[in-house]
Copies of this chain bind each other. A is one copy, B any other.
Amino acid sequence: MKAQARSLRVRLPAFLFASEALFLVLYFSFVTYGDDADAKLQNNRTDPMGNSLYRDYPFFADVQVMIFIGFGCLLSFLRFYGFGGMVFNFLTAAFAIQWAILVQGYFQFYLDGKIRLGVANLLNAEFACAVVLISFGAVLGKTSPIQLLVMALLEVPIFAITEWAVLKYLQINDVGGSILIHLFACYFGLGATFALYRPGLREGHAKEIAGYRSDILSVLGTLFLWVFWPSFNSAMALKGDDQHRAVLHTFIGLSASTLTAFALSTMLSERGRLTMADIQNVTLAGGVTVGASVDMMISPAGAFTLGVMGGTACMLGYKYLTPFLSHRFRIQDQCGIHNLHGLTGLIATMAGIWAILSADEETYGPSLYQTFNYRAPPEGDPKLLELQQVIPDLQPGLGRSAREQALWQVAAMGVSVGVAVVGGVLTGLVMKLPFLAPPPDECCYDDELFFDVPSDYGGIGGSRSSVSRQEDSKV
C-alpha cells in the first residue's frame, strides 16, 4: 500500500499537469467568446438584458448544484469512503466539464476555426459531466483518481460524438436526456465495471458499508438532486410552454416515484423497515422516466404514472436484478446505476415513443411543428410557407410522420446503448492498466489509501461487517 500511494505522488500530478497543458494549448488555440460574451459584438443596438446569459445562467447554476453538491453528497454514503465519494466527484466533475467544453465545442459550437464560448456551452458540458458521474457510480470505491480521470478523458468524447450524431442525423425528442444521458451513462458504466471485474470482491468487503452520518449526508445529496431536477429536465426545452410543462412533469414524476419508493422499500423489507439506500436512489427514478417526453402534452396524470412505473422498476431492480447481474454476469454495479438510470431510461424511451405517436395538431396546435420539428415540412415544401405564416420563426423540418419518428427514437436508443456498452468495456480495459494505480482489493472503499485522514478516522468504525453482501450491492 505504501508503494502504491507513493506512485500516486508522481502519476496523479503528471496526468493532471499533462492534461492541463493540453487543455491550455487547446483553449489558447481554439476557444474564443461567443457573440453574447464578445465586447465588440455587443453595442448600443443590442439590449444588455436580452443577453443569453440571463436565460441560461439560472439553469446552469441549478445544474452546478446538482453536479457538485448533489452527486458529491449522494456518493458519500460509504462509511469509510466519504472523502473519496465527495472529493473524487469534485475532481472528476471539474475535469470532465473543462474537457467537454472543448470536445462538445468542436462538434457543436465551432465556427470559422474557433469554439464560441458562452454559458450555453457550460450548460451542455455539465450534461456531459453528468454522464461521467453517473458511470462513476458503477465503480465507486474501486478506482483510483487517475482511473476516474482516464474514464472521463475517454467517455466525454465518446459521448460527445454520439450526442452530436444522434442530434444531427437521427433528430430525436429527448429534452430530459433519458436516452442520450441516462441510458448512455448507465451502459457505459456497466461496461467499464464489467471490464474491471474483481473476483476478490465477489463475497463483499468489510468496508463496503454505509454509516449513520454518511447515510444522512447521502440523503441530503438526493434532496439536492430532487429539488433541482426540474431545472435539469427543462434546461434544454423550448422556451415558454414547453419548458413550463417540463418543470411540472418532472416535479410530479419525482413525487410519484418518491411515494412509490417508500411503499416498496417497506413492503420488500423482511422486517418492514425502510432502507436508506432506497430513499437515496429510488425516489429519484421519476426524474428519469419522464425525461424523454417531459416537454410534451403527456398530461399531469401521465407524468404521475411514469413516476410510479419508474419507482417500481428501480426498486425491483435493486432488490432482484443487481444481485443477479453481479453474480451471474460479473457486473459489479456499486451504486445500482442500472436501476436508477438504465431500467428507467428504457421506460422513458417507450413513454417518449408513445407520446410521439399520440401527438397531433388538435392537442398541440401549430406548435406541434416546433416541439416535433422533424415533422415540419422540409425546405421548399409549399406547406412550410403556409405554416410559417402562423409561426413566423418555424424552421424547416424533415417531413417525418410520427410512426417514422418512433423508429428513429428506437434507433437512437440502440445507438446510445450500443456505443455505450462497447465504449464502456474498452474504457474499462484501458482503466485496468496497472500504471493507473488501481487500488488492491483489500484497500477498496477506504479513504486511507488516497487521503491523509484525521486521527479520528480509525474510530468511526463501530461494529463492522454484520451487513450481508446483498444489502451492500444495493447501497
- Which of A162-170, A256-264, A414-422, A427-435 faces chain B? A256-264
User: Which of B49, B219, B274, B391 lies in contact with A44, CB distance below 8 A?
Assistant: B391
Interface positions, chain A 142-157, Cβ under 8 Å from B, are: 145
- Tell me whether A220 and B273 are in contact (CB under 8 A): no
- Tell me whether B13 and A264 are in contact (CB under 8 A): yes
Count, chain A residues at interface, CB 8 A: 151
Copies of the polypeptide in the assembly: 3
Q: Is the interface of A mostly helix, strand, loop or mixed?
A: helix
Output the nearest chain B residue to A256 by Cβ-Cβ distance: B20
Contact with B along A347-363 (1 / 0, CB 8 A): 00000000000000011
Contact with B along A101-129 (1 / 0, CB 8 A): 00000000000000001110010000000
Which chain B residues lie closer than 8 Å to A171 at the CB level?
Answer: none
A297 to B48: give the CA distance in the assembly, Å. Answer: 17
Does A398 make an interface contact (CB < 8 A)?
A: no
Give A196 Cβ to nearest chain B Cβ, in Å: 22
Which chain B residues lie closer than 8 Å to A28 at the CB level?
Answer: 299, 301
- Tell me whether A31 and B300 are in contact (CB under 8 A): yes
Does A213 make an interface contact (CB < 8 A)?
A: yes
Known: A32-B300, A215-B83, A255-B94. A223 touches B269 (CB 8 A): no
Cβ-closest 6 pairs across A and B:
A9-B272, A456-B462, A48-B240, A16-B263, A459-B462, A40-B365
Does A461 make an interface contact (CB < 8 A)?
A: yes
Since A24-B304, A79-B456 are in contact, a sample of 9 more A-B pairs with Cβ atoms closer than 8 Å, ordered by chain A residue number, is: A20-B260, A33-B297, A39-B242, A39-B245, A48-B238, A49-B240, A122-B251, A273-B452, A276-B451
Which chain B residues lie closer than 8 Å to A263 at the CB level?
Answer: 12-13, 16-17, 20
- Tell me whether A367 and B39 are in contact (CB under 8 A): yes
